[in-house]
Structure 1
Amino acid sequence: MILLGMLTVPAFAQISVPKSLDHPGIKWDWKIKAENYTFDVITVSNYEMQNVTFNEMNKELVFLGNSTHDGNIAEIQIPTNLIGGKLTVTQDGKPVSSIVIPGTDSSTVMLKFNQTGTTNTSIIGTTYLPEFSNVALLVMVLSISMVLLIPRIKKF
């Protein structure tokens, strides 16, 4: 009886139309050169990203953006080999609230802010891995040399 009732009841469906965004996001892939490496920093934002620069000494990425509206959002994916550790985010020199999701190969920083006009967003890391590249090469050469030379040394 219940089954018969379920089969005879008309089904009503509503067509779901996705709400369009007032300011849809744009994806940029920035090539950041650091020492002998090139890293891809990917940004998705609903405002114009005009430039990204990298300061090795401060372990800092600086994003220059320009927005004509409020309700700005950005998602920034940073390779952990470029900068890593604890990431600090500032806008125009002031600390801002952000969501940082650490990963094995990259960290994702998510921002939401209501400022219009030009904005400088800085992301500062505590580590910059390529700074150890010269030391790693030296350690590798010494290790290989020791492996090759130690068996040739006569034992007394």
Structure 2
Amino acid sequence: MKIFLFIPILLLLIVTPAFGALSDATGLVNRLDVETSGYTFEINTVANFDIQGFDFDKDKKRLTLYINSGLENNLGEIIIPQNLLGGNFTFYLNDQEFFPEIKSNDKISFVTLNFTGSGNNKLELFGTTYLDGLTERDEIELKEPDFVREALQKGETFDDSFGWWALAGSLVVITVYVVMKIKKKK
């Protein structure tokens, strides 16, 4: 009987908690898709704060990140494609000039942010080059195939006609299978 009392006490000491406090260095990964001039660029961030949204202004060559943090000490990394924004960067954090560490090569700019302040923050990045090595292009309009256009003119949707073809194909396969089974029995 004493063993049954000992097991729960032992389990309390052995079982570790499933949830614990997060470290200040825990990284949240965000992928921001910037669509501009017919291109889509991916900006990657890893930070101990949340990026709630962003704006991109191609005329001002500016990327604005809207940040929300529950921690006082904030640390983050941003990877910006050189084709999107490049050159010499200028940063503003809450409308005050900010000087993060920047490392660049011919493909990306790697920005390390380290700042204090919990709550909502706004980070603005200004570049000196935009679409470096690329030309602006118009959005390509995809043309529907003729059979889809004809079906839609008849009042059918593409899903309706596909459903009928799938049903007909299934019936043919089942019929062939049944006929083969009947012939094998004879």
Q: TM-score, normalised by structure 1?
A: 0.69
* C-alpha distance in 2 between matches for 1:132 and 1:37: 9
Q: Would the aligned equivalents of 2:74 and 2:114 in 1 still touch at CA under 8 Å?
A: yes
* C-alpha distance in 1 between matches for 2:116 and 2:62: 23
- The equivalent of 1:76 in structure 2 is 78
1:120 equivalent to 2:122? Answer: yes
Q: Would the aligned equivalents of 2:86 and 2:129 in 1 still touch at CA under 8 Å?
A: yes
- The code of the aligned residue for 1:83 comes to L
Taking every aligned residue pair, what percent have the same amino acid on both sides? 29
- The code of the aligned residue for 2:68 comes to N
* C-alpha distance in 2 between matches for 1:44 and 1:22: 13
* C-alpha distance in 2 between matches for 1:116 and 1:59: 27
Alignment of 1:42-81 (within 5 A): 42-81=44-83
The offset of 1:21, in angstroms, is: 2.6
- The equivalent of 2:97 in structure 1 is 95
Higher relative contact order (CA 8 A, sep 6+): 1
* C-alpha distance in 2 between matches for 1:130 and 1:106: 12
* C-alpha distance in 1 between matches for 2:49 and 2:25: 8
The count of residues paired between Structure 1 and Structure 2 equals 116
- The equivalent of 2:141 in structure 1 is none
Distance 1:90 1:134, change over 3 A: closer
Gaps of 5+ in 1: 1-19, 136-156
Which of these residues, 133, 136, 140, is aligned with residue 135 of structure 2?
133
- The code of the aligned residue for 1:100 comes to I
Q: TM-score, normalised by structure 2?
A: 0.59
1:39 equivalent to 2:41? Answer: yes
The offset of 1:61, in angstroms, is: 0.6
* C-alpha distance in 2 between matches for 1:130 and 1:85: 9
